[in-house]
Chain A
Amino acid sequence: QVQLVQSGAEVKKPGASVKVSCKASGYTFTGYYMHWVRQAPGQGLEWMGWINPNSGGTNYAQKFQGRVTMTRDTSISTAYMELSRLRSDDTAVYYCARNYDILTGPDYYYYMDVWGKGTTVTVSS
């Protein structure tokens, strides 16, 4: 079955960087874009960006440009999200989610069909 397994929780100091991994299984990794979404404590979901695992091309939310880098290693079907210059308000659960899009008749559907369980990143001095 399609599965996304994320790396374990991290504790970082302000100013440091964190790199979260997301290992895909059960499907062709290079066939589907991968999103990264975060959720601060008690807050809603926030889209950070996505990567095309086939080409390595990325598109980041403006808020994170300059601080986030999304990469992938196709040999091990794993996507990575690195966030630098961490601040306390980067404390959140970080999710990877597979993008799915399909043309059905005249309609195009886009959605995130499978999610990882999340990686908790705590930024504290």
Chain B
Amino acid sequence: SSELTQDPAVSVALGQTVRITCQGDSLRSYYASWYQQKPGQAPVLVIYGKNNRPSGIPDRFSGSSSGNTASLTITGAQAEDEADYYCNSRDSSGNHPWVFGGGTKLTVL
């Protein structure tokens, strides 16, 4: 079955760099997109494609991809970056045309 795997939790010291990863077979064919979700709020797109940020997303957010792994990097993490992060991609091999990762809870210390 198709799926995307993320670490459940990651922590980073304020101002340091953190990488959140997402693994899955679908990522060999499709780019991941990344969403930030804060408590009680809807998800917000932060990275899409090879490494693209929507308008309004700070440039400390970046994305990369290699093989079956996509990564979201926050360079100089801020307190307001504490949130859940989800990866997502198209998927042509499984039962769902789209698949989400299980999410990573980022704590900024």
Please report A residues at the B interface, Cβ cutoff 8 Å.
35, 37, 44-47, 50, 59, 61-63, 95, 97, 104, 107-113, 115-118
A115-B44 in contact (CB<8A): yes
- By beta carbon, the residue of chain B nearest A6 is B42
Output the least CB separation between B94 and chain A (Å). Answer: 9
- B100 near A113: Cβ-Cβ < 8 Å: no
Complex interface: chain A residues within 8 A of B102 (CB):
44
Q: Closest 6 interchain pairs by CB?
A: A111-B33, A109-B49, A111-B48, A62-B95, A44-B103, A115-B42
Task: Evaluate contact between B103 and A59: CB separation under 8 angstroms.
Answer: no
Known: A107-B49, A112-B33, A113-B54. A44 touches B97 (CB 8 A): no
Contact across chains for B43 and A115 when beta carbons are under 8 A apart: yes
Query: Of the candidates A35, A44, A109, A118, which one forms a contact with B86 in the assembled complex, judged by CB atoms under 8 Å apart?
Result: A44
Q: Is B90 an interface residue (CB 8 A)?
A: yes
- Selected from A35, A62, A63, A95, the residue in CB contact (under 8 A) with B98 is A35
For residue B24, CB closer than 8 A to chain A, the reply is no
Q: Whole-angstrom distance between the alpha carbons of A93 and B101 in the complex?
A: 17
